[in-house]
Amino acid sequence: MIKKILAAVIAALTGPFAMALGISLLVVIGVAVGFIISANMDAARVEKQKAEKAAAAEALKGPAPPQRVVEPPSDGPSPFEPRYVSLGEEILSPLPGKGRVLITEVELVTQRGENAELLLTSERVPLRAFVLSILSEMTIDQATAPDARQATADKLKQAINALLQPKSGIAPVERVLIKKYFVQ
């Protein structure tokens, strides 16, 4: 009896009706899977369109305004630290006599803070011309004296401070460094 039932089941599964039923079942499953895939593709397309619209709207707004960057206060140099302002390359000033020249390189030192340094820096060219005029008034004896370098530095300090004090209200030069000093 079991053999007859098995034979009937096998005959039913292998018969034309079973084949048609199996194919129909596969078609229904395929269509269902197709609808699911299509629905997912539509949802993805809609999301992509939303993202493109959002990007276009963002692009129409233009670039973001620049952010203001506030730098923290720096410890910077102390206002009482010495600040050096060079008057540039060597200054050649003629001395009286045949072919004699005084060659100097001058640097100004201030301890009056940043404003004094800015004053000296902004007046660098006129100060260089002023120093040249003072040096050109020197005689050979003054330029070759044993303490000529220090005497010249003191003279320049007094003259520069006298020139700049009416403009700034302070005497900005603390020292004059003469880095090069020789008579040729």
pLDDT, tens only, 135-183: 888 888 888 888 988 988 899 889 888 888 888 788 888 888 888 888 8
Q: Do residue 163 and residue 109 come from a single domain?
A: yes
Place of tokens 């000093």: 181
Q: Tell which residue, 136, 133, 129, 135, has the closest CA to residue 87.
A: 129
Q: Do residue 48 and residue 124 come from a single domain?
A: no
Last residue of a domain, one of 11, 27, 60: 60
Q: Is residue 70 part of a domain?
A: no
Q: What is the CATH number of the domain that holds 96?
A: 3.30.479.30
Helices (H), the chain: 2-14, 16-61, 114-122, 124-136, 140-144, 148-168
Q: Do residue 32 and residue 106 come from a single domain?
A: no
Q: Is residue 96 part of a domain?
A: yes
Q: What is the pLDDT of residue 91?
A: 84
Q: Do residue 11 and residue 44 come from a single domain?
A: yes
Q: Is residue 71 part of a domain?
A: no
Tokens matching residue 84: 């050096």
How crowded is residue 179: how many other Cβ atoms within 10 Å of its Cβ? 10
Q: Is residue 65 part of a domain?
A: no
This prediction has a pTM of 0.56
The residue range of the domain holding 162 is 83-183
Q: Do residue 90 and residue 55 come from a single domain?
A: no
The DSSP annotation for 130-161 comes to HHHHHHHT--HHHHHSTTHHHHHHHHHHHHHH
Instruction: Give the chain's domain count.
Output: 2
Q: What is the pLDDT of residue 71?
A: 63
Model confidence pLDDT, tens digit, residues 14-70: 777 767 777 888 888 888 888 888 888 888 888 998 988 888 777 777 776 777 776
Q: Do residue 108 and residue 153 come from a single domain?
A: yes
Q: Do residue 100 and residue 173 come from a single domain?
A: yes
Q: Do residue 56 and residue 89 come from a single domain?
A: no
Classified as helix, coil or strand, 100 is: coil
Q: Is residue 66 part of a domain?
A: no
> Which residues make Cβ contacts (< 8 Å) with residue 10, sequence separation at least 6?
none
Q: Do residue 168 and residue 89 come from a single domain?
A: yes
Q: Is residue 176 part of a domain?
A: yes
Q: Do residue 179 and residue 133 come from a single domain?
A: yes
Q: Is residue 122 part of a domain?
A: yes
Q: Do residue 54 and residue 88 come from a single domain?
A: no
Q: What is the pLDDT of residue 75?
A: 55
Determine how β-strand 175-183 pairs with β-strand 101-110.
Answer: antiparallel
CB burial class (10 A; 0-12, 13-18, 19+) of residue 113?
middle
